[in-house]
């Protein structure tokens, strides 16, 4: 599990972020990916598996159980809640690991961010960090916007 990373959300912003993660990871470390749209996962594996192992997992829980760090970027607050708080398939359902790093990059409301962070922390699922991104109009690149 050392060096393994989970990545949840391969949409317009997540896909290039996951690409950068896989390219910069150690070659023997595994990237566990999850997305609601399976063709994105299949395309990602086809394009980037030459950089190291990539495993498609069915749930955020599986990604968390196999990695010390999980990065997520999904469309809206309800999706963030599902990724982290679903007792069966979410990160909160994974085995406890207070050292797991959870980087949530979706741009959502502060209330949801706090609720999810508190619940994940109380469950011992890891350290939740709100790291929202947005696309810069001038550079067309993702930038961290923070709160």
Domain chopping of the chain, boundaries: 5-144
The pLDDT of residue 20: 96
CATH dotted code for 5-144: 3.40.50.720
Q: Please state, in angstroms and rounded to a whole number, the distance separating the CA atoms of residues 136 and 131.
A: 15
The reported pTM is: 0.91
The pLDDT of residue 2: 72
User: Is 94 in a helix, a strand, or coil?
Assistant: coil
The pLDDT of residue 141: 56
The pLDDT of residue 134: 73
Helix (H) or strand (E) holding 32: strand 31-34
Low-confidence residues in the chain, pLDDT < 50: 144-147
């Amino acid at each position: 599990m050392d060096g393994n990373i989970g990545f949840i959300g391969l949409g317009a912003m997540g896909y290039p972020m996951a690409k950068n993660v896989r390219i910069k990871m150690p070659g023997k470390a595994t990237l566990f990916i999850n997305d609601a749209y399976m063709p994105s996962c299949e395309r990602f594996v086809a394009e980037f598996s030459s950089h190291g192992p990539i495993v498609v997992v069915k749930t955020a829980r599986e990604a968390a159980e196999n990695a010390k760090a999980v990065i997520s970027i999904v469309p809206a607050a309800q999706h963030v809640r599902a990724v982290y708080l679903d007792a069966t398939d979410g990160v909160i359902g994974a085995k406890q690991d207070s050292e797991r790093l959870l980087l949530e990059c979706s741009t959502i409301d502060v209330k949801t961010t706090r609720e999810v962070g508190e619940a994940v922390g109380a469950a011992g699922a890891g350290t939740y960090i709100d790291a929202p991104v947005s696309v810069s109009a001038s550079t067309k690149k993702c930038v961290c916007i923070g709160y």
